[in-house]
Amino acid sequence: MFSETQENHREQTSQRQEQHSCTVRQKKSFPLCVYKTHSLWRCRFCSSSPPEDERKPRASMLRHLTSKIKATGPIPVAEYMRESLTNPVTGYYVRGDVLGPQGDFITSPEISQIFGELVGVWCISEWMGAGRPAQLQLVELGPGRGSLAADVLRVFGQLRSVLAEASVSVHLVEVSPALSRVQARRLTGEQSREADGEDEPVYRRGRTTTGGLPVSWYRRLDDVPAGFSVYVAHEFFDALPIHKFQRTEKGWREVMVDIEPDEPERLRFVVAPTPTLASSTLVQADEKRNHVEVCPEGGVIIQQLANRISESGGAALIADYGHDGTKTDTFRGFKGHQLHDVLASPGLADLTADVDFSYLRRMAGEGVACLGPVTQRTFLKNMGIDTRLQVLLRSCSDPATRKQLIQSYDMLTSPSKMGERFHFFSLLSPSRLAEPKRTEGLKMEKKSPAQLPVAGFTELSFS
Ligand code: SAH
């Protein structure tokens, strides 16, 4: 369907190729493989110690948190996570390119071009399923190094004849100015410009190097203009702050972060003695687990997506590791190839928690239809990853590259690697799923995904 070319941007190809010579190992306490790919590459779940000169700003993050706790008392885990990851001065993401050769972890779009290409096909198939509207906004939340967007846009370029007269634009929601620069270089070359004022909703603008499509950067989804959009969020929701709650004899109590009494440089978890606003409002009345994690920021973003889709049309594709309301304590840090104490190095370590898809579905409400979660393996196979791999292999005679293509395919789809740990979840306009003769009054959520012509959740079809 699209061309046999392997992506030909050299830097990325060579980086991706290095990844395929990876070894995989399982961690007992965290049953997800770690993909060691190149001495400089780290997967999402491990990271390296930063160079010495990067330690100082991080120490100031610890100081910042301890002064805050001294002033106001223990802080919620969500506040700890938000500060550690996205504090505008010393946050983990804000400091720069945490992915890639100089970074700390690696994600599916960085492992293989095929991942983003299939997401690109999904975007087009949803645009077609919506009746080929005149406008198509590609909106990505948390675009990292811009690899996923670049691969999606390459597919858009290859299927230009299908997109025909549609006006296509790209909208990136990114909190890290440093990562936005990496994305800008990747997508626009040198053709982007920062906004003059700090408060501008669009803080950077540019045009893609191929095709000249307009690209805009925002700090918040709310700032993206209304209009038919396909939203993509890969490993975005797991980075949003979670609250943690513990069932006690006195009822639900929030887990907070405090200073270790005898060691002013160390942090510890404590359980709040009395209910907090969060523990009173965020735990479900019929909750059966003894410990729960809730990500209200993720809930707000899902509601925004749902409102936007029901008002202007479109679809959202959310891919992440997660569960369906069954897991308890999933908050973890990674540093130096190891699971890392989440409280040990705020701002220096990756912090993450599994996405609760049942919570996202609940927060999406009745105005949209939800599909999934389905495993990454199911999604990619339904999208035709096997065929795409064969096409690439046919056009490639270099044995090393062939081996790398096969290894990255295995990494993305193998049940013991990323294939079953990662899940895909979608929000759609209910009209997208309506049966031709009955367009009203359907309870979409109750329909079996197997009957629905939505690519990835069932086999890809362009008919
Ligand atoms: N999607 C990419 C990167 C995942 S890392 C990939 O899969 O390779 C998470 C990304 O989300 C980073 O780009 C980070 O800077 C961004 N991010 C984290 N929290 C954010 C927030 N609250 N708002 C916007 N972007 C955020």
* Mean pLDDT to the nearest integer, 328-354: 89
* Main-chain phi, psi angles of 446, to 5 degrees: -80, -15
Of 67, 54, 60, 72, the closest CA to residue 264 belongs to 67
Residues lining ligand 1, Cβ inside 6 A: 86, 93, 99, 107, 109-110, 142-144, 148, 173-176, 179, 234-236, 239-240
Tokens of 345: 């190095």
179-183, 206-210, 268-272, 440-444: which has the minimum mean pLDDT?
440-444
pTM: 0.87
User: What local confidence, expressed as pLDDT, does residue 340 receive?
Assistant: 87
Mean pLDDT of the chain: 85
The sign of the dihedral angle between the CA atoms of 196, 198, 199, 201 is: positive
**Rounded to the nearest whole angstrom, what is the distance from the C-alpha of residue 213 to the centroid of ligand 1?**
22
User: What local confidence, expressed as pLDDT, does residue 433 receive?
Assistant: 81
32-41, 50-59, 100-109, 122-131: which has the minimum mean pLDDT?
32-41
Position 318 confidence tier, pLDDT thresholds 50, 70, 90: very high
Which is higher by pLDDT, 112 or 39? Answer: 112
pLDDT digits 0-9 by tens, 394-404: 999 999 999 99
**Rounded to the nearest whole angstrom, what is the distance from the C-alpha of residue 439 to the centroid of ligand 1?**
37
**How much of the chain exceeds pLDDT 70, in percent?**
81
337 vs 88: CA distance, rounded Å: 26
Ligand 1 atom nearest the C-alpha of 233 is: 1
Q: Taking the domains of the chain in order of start, what are their residue ranges?
A: 83-241+288-431
Whether the per-residue pLDDT at 49 is higher than 90: the answer is no
Report which DSSP code applies to 51: P
For residue 436, the SS3 value is coil
451 vs 430: CA distance, rounded Å: 14
User: What local confidence, expressed as pLDDT, does residue 191 receive?
Assistant: 83
Tokens of 261: 């009494």
Question: 10 Å Cβ neighbour count for 1?
Answer: 14
User: What local confidence, expressed as pLDDT, does residue 123 receive?
Assistant: 97
Ligand 1 atom nearest the C-alpha of 173 is: 24
Best residue for ligand 1 mutational test, from 85, 176, 295 (most atoms within 8 Å of Cβ): 176
pLDDT digits 0-9 by tens, 217-238: 999 999 999 999 999 999 999 9
pLDDT digits 0-9 by tens, 166-203: 999 999 999 999 999 999 999 999 889 999 877 889 99
* Mean pLDDT to the nearest integer, 306-328: 97
Q: What angle do CA 177, 183, 186 make, to 5 degrees?
A: 145
**What is the CATH code for 83-241+288-431?**
3.40.50.12710
Q: How many CA atoms lie within 13 A of 33 on its CB side?
A: 22
User: What local confidence, expressed as pLDDT, does residue 380 receive?
Assistant: 98
Residue nearest to atom 17 of ligand 1 (CA): 142
pLDDT digits 0-9 by tens, 113-142: 999 999 999 999 999 999 999 999 999 999
Going edge to edge, which strands form the sheet with 350-352?
338-340, 332-335, 350-352
Position 338 confidence tier, pLDDT thresholds 50, 70, 90: confident
**DSSP strand pairing (332-335 vs 338-340):** antiparallel
User: What local confidence, expressed as pLDDT, does residue 242 receive?
Assistant: 98
Which is higher by pLDDT, 193 or 45? Answer: 193
Of 139, 155, 292, 341, the closest CA to residue 227 belongs to 139
Ligand 1 atom nearest the C-alpha of 176 is: 15
Which one-letter amino acid corresponds to residue 236? F
User: What local confidence, expressed as pLDDT, does residue 323 receive?
Assistant: 95
**Rounded to the nearest whole angstrom, what is the distance from the C-alpha of residue 462 to the centroid of ligand 1?**
31
User: What local confidence, expressed as pLDDT, does residue 101 receive?
Assistant: 56
Best residue for ligand 1 mutational test, from 15, 93, 151, 376 (most atoms within 8 Å of Cβ): 93
459 vs 450: CA distance, rounded Å: 9
H/E run at residue 351: strand 350-352
Ligand 1 atom nearest the C-alpha of 297 is: 22
Position 322 confidence tier, pLDDT thresholds 50, 70, 90: very high
Residues 6+ apart with CB under 8 A from 278: 76, 78, 243, 245, 254, 294, 296
Largest CA distance in the chain: 70
* Mean pLDDT to the nearest integer, 65-78: 97
Strands (DSSP E) found in 55-103: 75-76
User: What local confidence, expressed as pLDDT, does residue 17 receive?
Assistant: 38
**DSSP strand pairing (267-271 vs 251-259):** antiparallel
Whole-Å CA distances, 41 to 3, 102, 415, 444: 29, 7, 22, 42
Whether the per-residue pLDDT at 20 is higher than 50: the answer is no
Whole-Å CA distances, 48 to 31, 54, 235, 263: 20, 12, 19, 26
Position 460 confidence tier, pLDDT thresholds 50, 70, 90: low
Position 415 confidence tier, pLDDT thresholds 50, 70, 90: very high
pLDDT digits 0-9 by tens, 352-390: 999 999 999 999 999 999 999 999 999 999 999 999 999
